[in-house]
Amino acid sequence: MRISSCFFFCLFTLQSIIPQWNEHFCNMPDWENIQLLSEPIPDSLPKVLVVTNRPFLPDDEDKRYLPNKIADYRKVTYIEAGCKDDNWYIRPLVGFKEGIATIDKGKDILLFIHGHGKTFPSSIARALRVKNRYDVSLILFDWPASNSNFNKSLSRVRRCSENYFNLLLQLKEYRKSHMSEKQHLSIMAHSLGNYFLTYFVVSGNWQFLDEPFVDNIIFNAPAIRTREHGEVISLVRISKNKYVILNKNDKVLRGAHLLTSGKMLGNVVVKPHAQNTRYIHFTDIARTKHTYFG
């Protein structure tokens, strides 16, 4: 499926289609179900590329290879992750070029950014579901999000923002030099993951990436303040198309509203709207859910 043409059709018809889909879903692993490999994961297994700034500890006695911390000096680790049944495999890679080569087989490419509360095992499980559901090559930007509260995660997004910006620079160069004209490059951020997109503006980095090289950006259930969002999102100019996905009854975002003293964009839109952005309401089918895309 092409993200540019039917990604939102898939979302709108999610509830009726899910029971009919025969998808490969591995259960979310515990650390004891994750095996560290030195050899490549076979292409016959579903897999994703993980770009993470958690510290990579291959010799950890408890085999918790990627704990909920920020790596020293913001070091980034590139990992291919895949699964078969309930067995998960991860392999560290030399860098972005080796990593992207493990997943780019000519399909559309999606950069997925998870939200608050995710451990490394839960983030790779969610990423693989998205990859399989929409039939894309998937890059997961993984950050230490399993924190004691929402505000601590907000702080960590700010501390991890340069790693995200550097990944955008790598993707821009890769799009120019390696992707075919038929391939699409999209970004989907979920919940607090959307803060990476808006902090990209607030930090001033938008000035250095001010031309579109991405086809679509999907702000899914954005846990960012709706006030003044229009001005900020208007300065996200790296994408040809931008979409904000809303559910006014999203209970998780209502809780975030209470914690941050500001209404969340994923619940309600406060004008002015962002330029070149479509707002799509899922309230009628999502009910009170926060996650309804994968």
Instruction: Convert the pLDDT of each residue in 131-183 to its tens digit.
Output: 999 999 999 999 999 998 999 999 999 999 999 999 999 999 999 999 999 99
- The pLDDT confidence band at residue 17, using thresholds 50, 70 and 90, is very low
Find out whether the peptide bond into 272 is cis, omega within 30 degrees of 0: yes
Q: Which residues contact 281 (CB under 8 A, 6 or more apart)?
A: 246, 247, 248
pTM of the predicted model as reported, rounded to 2 decimal places: 0.92
What is the pLDDT at residue 259?
A: 73
Q: What is the DSSP string of 143-212?
A: -----SSHHHHHHHHHHHHHHHHHHHHHHHHHHHHT--TT--EEEEEEGGGHHHHHHHHHTTGGGGS-S-
Name the pairing type of β-strands 137-142 and 47-52: parallel
* CB atoms closer than 10 angstroms to residue 60: 14
CA-nearest of 61, 53, 46, 60 to 78 is 53
Strands (E), the chain: 34-36, 47-52, 77-84, 87-93, 109-113, 137-142, 185-190, 214-220, 239-246, 277-281
- pLDDT tens per residue, range 217-239: 999 999 999 999 999 999 999 99
- The pLDDT confidence band at residue 294, using thresholds 50, 70 and 90, is low
What is the pLDDT at residue 257?
A: 76
- The pLDDT confidence band at residue 16, using thresholds 50, 70 and 90, is very low
Sign of CA dihedral 77, 35, 156, 71: negative
Read off the tokens for 222.
């954005």
Q: 53, 71 in Cβ contact below 8 A? A: yes
Q: Which residues contact 261 (CB under 8 A, 6 or more apart)?
A: none
- pLDDT tens per residue, range 86-140: 899 999 999 999 999 999 999 999 999 999 999 999 999 999 999 999 999 999 9
